[in-house]
Amino acid sequence: MGNFARTDRIAQQIQREIAELLRLEINDPGVRLVTITGVEVAGDYSHAKVFFTRLDGKHEEAQQGLERASGFLRKHLARSLKLRVMPQLHFVYDSSVERGSRLSQLIDQAVASDKGESS
């Protein structure tokens, strides 16, 4: 159980660090509007899935930019995390924000059409 909590803490720290590095250090226009939504770290710390979303929907461009920056990000993470093994970073587009927005639009449309029919 203790190991599980440690991987969660490391995942949260990686998420904070990457978000900060993207905001302050990376000048790639492909990663400008990227938000890091979560991180999952493998039990042996060898791999980390970094989930991201992008506000304008250009997630392919963002994924390429993040992969180009992965070496830089790992180097900076190694300085701040003090882990024996620095995980390989794998960037995964998180479509849940987009799906949630789309569902919200559909609900709004249904409510608006309901009001139109009852008037």
Question: What are the residue boundaries of the structural domains of the chain, listed by start?
Answer: 2-94
* pTM score of the predicted model: 0.79
CA 2 to CA 10: how far, in whole Å? 12
The confidence score (pLDDT) of residue 94 equals: 87
Mean pLDDT of the chain: 86
CATH topology of domain 2-94: GMP Synthetase; Chain A, domain 3 (3.30.300)
CA 9 to CA 101: how far, in whole Å? 29
The confidence score (pLDDT) of residue 1 equals: 47
The confidence score (pLDDT) of residue 55 equals: 79
CA 15 to CA 51: how far, in whole Å? 9
The confidence score (pLDDT) of residue 100 equals: 75
Full 3-state SS string of 27-48: CCHHHCCEEEEEEEECCCCCEE
CA 88 to CA 10: how far, in whole Å? 13
- pLDDT tier for residue 104 given thresholds of 50, 70 and 90: confident
